[in-house]
Amino acid sequence: MTKHSSGPEHALERLVFFSDAVFAIAITLLIIEIHVPRLPIGSSDAEYLEALAHLWPNFFGFFVSFWVIAAFWAGHHRAFSLAGHYSDRIVMPNLALLCAIVFMPFSTAFMGGNIGTLVPTALYDATLVFCGLLNLRLVRMVTSPPIVDEAVSAETIAMTRVRGWAVVLGGASALAFAFVDPRFSQFALISIPFWRRLLQARLKHRYGAVRDDGSPQEAASATKR
């Protein structure tokens, strides 16, 4: 294992830049999976509107997955902003997360093309939960010694870690709901912000006041340094 203490240095920056590119490609692939309707020349406006209406499940899946992948990217960015050192230990866990993220366009298209059915919906929800678990593992490694910057407070680390649990719990709720009625499973993802607020409230009780943006108050952080 190779470690450096002068970070964030070149190796850490390369890992982050590569990850950003993969997240961007995965988001782009979401829209590529939605195929443009091809109607005969001379088709009426009503026929064009009808063709677009048939694509509403695909558009729904696109918007849901766009913000899901964006949330994973934001969490990845937030965690690595706390890194002060590089370690070879995070390469494979980071690649594992990116592999699951790249799979999401397929699971999104599968669900969008078979809206309201159990297997495609459950596969999508399971993919989301799997991504969330891999993200939790990576975030914990990045926010632990020897990778995390020594100046980062315990409150900031705890807040960064807990946000990932909200996605896992929201995805698990959607997966459980899929076995009850897959037609409405994705609406359970609305619970993600509520899970996050609940978990943040627990941390607020433990560490004290927390700003609206989710970061601890400076006064509380200073007492831990």
At residue 77, the pLDDT reads 95
Joined tokens for residue 87: 């370690």
C-alpha span between 80 and 100 (Å, rounded): 19
At residue 221, the pLDDT reads 42
At residue 208, the pLDDT reads 65
At residue 193, the pLDDT reads 87
Please, what are the averages of pLDDT over each run of 10 residues along the chain (225 residues)? 52 94 96 87 89 90 92 94 92 97 95 92 96 96 94 90 91 94 89 88 71 45 39
Domain assignment of residue 205, given as a range: 3-224
Dihedral angle at the C-alpha atoms of 7, 13, 16, 20, nearest 10 degrees? 150
DSSP secondary structure code for residue 189 in this structure: G
At residue 7, the pLDDT reads 45
For residue 21, give every residue at least 6 positions away whose Cβ sits within 8 Å of its Cβ, in sequence order, or none: none
Instruction: Return the closest-CA partner of residue 119 out of 179, 161, 171, 67.
Output: 179
Into how many domains does the chain fold?
Answer: 1
At residue 201, the pLDDT reads 85
